Each structure stands twice: as C-alpha cells, then as structure tokens.
C-alpha cells in the first residue's frame, strides 16, 4: 500500500506506536529549530545589489536584432 493515503495512515500509526504519540511533533520541532532566516531575506537591499552584479556579468552575448 505504499504511496496511498491508507498506507500513510498505517505508517503514521506504526510510528506513533513505536516512538510515542508526540513523534511528529518532535521531528517538526527539529526542523523548526534548524531554520535560520538570514541573508537576502534579512536584507533586501543587499539582494538588489547582488542581482545587479549578476546581471552585469551575463553569460549571454549582446542582444541580436530579429530579421
């Protein structure tokens, strides 16, 4: 039943029986603690500057006129 809704519910029941009712809460907590929002999300002006630099060093050649 792999890949079906019923199979998923059986797997969830098995995980809860083996590892406790808080199994999914614990693994979700680990994911939440692991996230660190920073970089461009914290500084949109830096993202704008970096994007401009990337645009200037395009690997495409100059635009050609269509015939």
- Closest by CA position to 2, among listed 13, 38, 11, 17: 11
End-to-end alpha carbon distance in the chain: 58
Residue 1 has pLDDT above 70, yes or no: no
Domain ranges for the chain: 5-56
Read off the pTM: 0.48
pLDDT at residue 43, rounded to an integer:
86
Each residue's pLDDT tens digit, 43-65: 889 999 998 998 888 777 777 88
Split at pLDDT 50, 70, 90, the class of 67 is: low
The set of residues, in sequence order, having a beta carbon less than 8 Å from that of 50 and lying 6+ positions away, is: 40
Do 40 and 46 touch, CB atoms closer than 8 A?
yes
């Amino acid at each position: 039943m792999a890949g079906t809704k019923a199979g998923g519910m059986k797997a969830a029941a098995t995980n809860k029986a083996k590892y406790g009712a808080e199994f999914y809460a614990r693994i979700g907590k680990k994911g939440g603690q692991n996230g660190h929002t920073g970089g461009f999300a914290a500084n949109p002006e830096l993202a704008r500057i970096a994007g401009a630099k990337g645009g200037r060093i395009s690997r495409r050649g100059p635009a050609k006129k269509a015939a």
